[in-house]
Amino acid sequence: MEEALRAAEERLRAAGVASPRVDAELLAAHLAGVSRGRLRALALIGAEAPAGFQALVDERARRVPLQHLTGSASFRRIDLSVGPGVFIPRPETESVAQLVIDRAGPLSSPRIVDLGTGSGAIAASVADEVPGAEVYAVELSDLACAWAATNLEPYGVRLVQGDLATALPELDGSFDIVVSNPPYIPADAVPNEPEVAEHDPHMALYGGGADGLRLPRAAAASAARLLRAGGYFVMEHAEVQAPWVAAFLTEAGVWTSVTTHQDLGGRDRATSAVLRESARPTTAQRASSATPPTIGPAAREHRGHPTGHPSVDTPDHTAGHTP
């Protein structure tokens, strides 16, 4: 097996995969049905490479995302089912989930909504780590909704299919926390990584407009509509967009405590704000289409998700693997 792993590592390195040895081991571990640590032990004692290993290495060398080949992505302490049609959650989005979990911790039975949930990564993690929380998730894409339903079912999250700009009008003013990791890549930007450019759904990448901020602005407007006074909003964005996001939240006049947050790499990747006590939704904010169809609670109504979205300014947002 060690010889096969070394050959796979060289093949993947030549193909431009950022973590060739890790990916080779994870592919072999997936086929063998063992952990990566156990696979290493098997390699040391001279075990054979699992059947089908070379075929998966060939696919990965063509820059098919690792998670599409294994069908799974790790996010915080849960494993998510992922595949074509849904954005693969990124490690930096775990920091956004942590902000929600920290804010929700002291609250009694907090009501939380994840706008643009994708695979359901943030919503599932929050439901998993905040006992007693009432968690909703909103997603527009049919394919992403199918993946999210699978991932959210074990956690009792209420999944709603609809537009993040208009969803849940019947629950205006009732949420303690709104979180969003919306699409935010500018219209004329093309991701460098083939895993992103060729395999992540464009619907999950592009935020609309030259600056990519149409959907982030819509998420912020929905947060102002959905939150109770004093409620908390946090949103992921690209590093270069941090000043613009802070500016439009401040200029809206309904937010206080606008704060930029860094990810584990020290980059400005999220912004939070608190809805002013005097803020009230306007008639325009309340206007919406018919109430979107509900697919939930996911635990009871299964319809059977890259969460995070790649920054346009940081090259390390690959779909190669997540921790």
Which has the higher per-residue pLDDT, 271 or 183? 271
- Examine the residue annotation and report whether 182 is marked as an active-site residue of this protein: yes
**Among the options 89, 181, 183, 310, which is catalytic?**
181
- Alpha-carbon gap, residue 291 to 140, rounded angstroms: 13
pLDDT digit string, tens, across residues 229-245: 999 999 999 899 999 99
Q: Is it the case that residue 138 has pLDDT exceeding 80?
A: yes
pLDDT digit string, tens, across residues 190-243: 676 776 766 566 666 657 677 888 899 999 999 999 999 999 999 999 899 999
- Examine the residue annotation and report whether 181 is marked as an active-site residue of this protein: yes
Could you tell me which residues come within 8 angstroms of residue 292 by beta carbon, excluding any fewer than 6 positions away?
138, 160, 161, 162, 163, 166, 167, 168
**Among the options 50, 53, 65, 87, which is catalytic?**
87
Q: Is it the case that residue 50 has pLDDT exceeding 70?
A: yes
Average pLDDT, the chain: 84
**Among the options 182, 292, 297, 306, which is catalytic?**
182
DSSP 3-state percent helix, strand, coil across the chain (nearest 5): 40, 20, 40
E strands present in 46-147? 72-75, 78-81, 111-115, 134-139
Q: Would the pTM of this model clear 0.85, i.e. be above it? A: no
Domain at 73-295: CATH code: 3.40.50.150
